[in-house]
Structure 1
Amino acid sequence: MNRLSRILGTLALGLLFGCAGEKPEPLVGNGEDALIVMDFSVAKPLHPLPNDWVKNEFFTRVPMKYSFGTYQGVPAMRFETDNSASMLGRDLDIDLAQYPILTWKWLVEVPITSTVSEKLPEGDDHPARLLVTLKTAKGEPRAFEIIWGNKEFRAGQYKVIGDFHHYTANGGDPKLVGRWFEERLDLREIYRKIWKDGEQPRLTHIAVFCDSDETDTRSVAWFSHITLRTR
């Protein structure tokens, strides 16, 4: 089973691990300039989760740990892995053409340190990722990841393992660890780079995805917010 199939299968089972009760209604756009996907700057109860958040865990992996806190004076959520992996996200029903800009704020406190190349499946761990899933008008699923590079990938570079694409938004340099970065990315440009099909897809899910399960290492990352914006 390829990576895309594993991820989509895990998302399909998200209700098993998400909040109790009915599956949350997806976030939709109503003409606002900005849509807050997840705001980690204000602490909320996590047991149970806020009713519009969904956690997705792999049956064969220990999940990451997350908690609200403050780092360098910035209120945020702390995500820690220790030979573990899971996702925390939100379901969407958003026209990518209407809200193509993704903005977020993140910091890597403890990076992935491994001798295994991150170009290989067995080295495919990153201290911070954002998983983006979409669906075409024909109902075909699409997914890619936005990653913090370890040593071999820096901002603007693509990593492809099998048929799965990763866009490196930051990282790849030890000097960048321990610093907050405000990011802005055009998701439609990334889609067109990966899939040259002329489709106008809809966003279906965005999740924080931190993992260190392949390299048996540890990582810590912080996220402050994730927002979708009009151009």
Structure 2
Amino acid sequence: GLAVGVLPKDWVATGPTGIVKKRVSVVVQDGVKALKIITGSEKFSIVRRTRAMLLATPYLNWSWNLSTHGPGTHPIRLIIGFRGGLRDGAKIEKTWRQKVFADIGEKLPEFDRSLSVTWEDSALQRGTLFLPAPKEGKLMPRYIVRGGRENYGKWWPEFIDLGDLYNQVWPDDDMSRVQVTFIGVAASGGQVPTTGFLSEVTLTR
């Protein structure tokens, strides 16, 4: 579990040396014990290793509280890694892997699929799933779970069906073999500093 003032030992960080000590901490926010993330000029990610079978625990639950920021997608987003669903003979394109590693880091637990979960400007975008479009620079599938600037600064509980999203994005994969290998947070670089809080991240059946 989370201990105030101490970063979880089972979490893996990527980014510049020492970035996590400067940008990530465990605090109590509005009475809720949470992971605090502060964005800045450099991108980084912090993820928790998992070894859960997707079909056994397909539902991802969490709560978050994000501060306001500039226009567009909020720079703090959830990232989820998967492994094992590729059919025999199927391969992951090297260029795709390089793009993802460049975006969220190379020290992550092994994965062959990944999904980003974001907060957008408009509440009307909620529930939208964007599939990969390499020519447009999309690094991974992106699901909008919440939107609206008027909703910043409050705690929001979230619930998504990872199994359903996975099946929509990769319908040819063998779902019975898919593992969730990590769940965490990525922060975009080059942004005006903003803050986010993440709590109660769990997989359930």
Normalised TM-score (structure 1): 0.66
Do the aligned residues in 2 keep the contact of 1:103 with 1:183 (CA within 8 Å)?
A: yes
If asked which structure has higher relative contact order (CA below 8 Å, sep 6+), I would say 2
In the alignment, structure 1 residue 128 sits paired with structure 2 residue 71: no
Do the aligned residues in 1 keep the contact of 2:6 with 2:25 (CA within 8 Å)?
A: no
Decide which of 43, 50, 56 is 1:85's aligned counterpart. 43
Q: How big is the shift at 1:126?
A: 2.6
Partner in structure 2 of residue 228 of structure 1: 203
Do the aligned residues in 1 keep the contact of 2:59 with 2:160 (CA within 8 Å)?
A: yes
Question: 1:1-231 counterparts in 2 under 5 A?
Answer: 39-40=1-2, 42-43=3-4, 45-46=6-7, 50-57=8-15, 65-109=23-67, 111-114=68-71, 118=72, 126-138=74-86, 141-151=112-122, 154-160=125-131, 162=134, 164-171=140-147, 173-200=148-175, 201-213=178-190, 216-230=191-205
Q: What secondary structure does 2:194 align onto?
A: strand
- How much identity, in percent, do the aligned residues show? 23
Q: How big is the shift at 1:65?
A: 0.3
Name the amino acid aligned to 1:71: Q
Gaps of 5+ in 2: 93-111
C-alpha distance in 1 between matches for 2:149 and 2:46: 26
Q: How big is the shift at 1:212?
A: 3.8
Q: 1:221 to 1:153 in 2, by over 3 A?
A: farther
Q: Deviations over 1:131-185 (max 9, x none)?
A: 11111244861111111113587320123552521101112x1210011011111
C-alpha distance in 2 between matches for 1:85 and 1:153: 28
Q: 1:175 to 1:53 in 2, by over 3 A?
A: same
Q: What secondary structure does 2:168 align onto?
A: helix
Q: How big is the shift at 1:203?
A: 1.0
Name the amino acid aligned to 2:128: Q
Q: What secondary structure does 1:191 align onto?
A: helix
C-alpha distance in 2 between matches for 1:112 and 1:155: 18
Do the aligned residues in 1 keep the contact of 2:39 with 2:76 (CA within 8 Å)?
A: no
C-alpha distance in 2 between matches for 1:175 and 1:130: 20
Normalised TM-score (structure 2): 0.74
Matched pairs, number: 173
Q: How big is the shift at 1:82?
A: 1.6
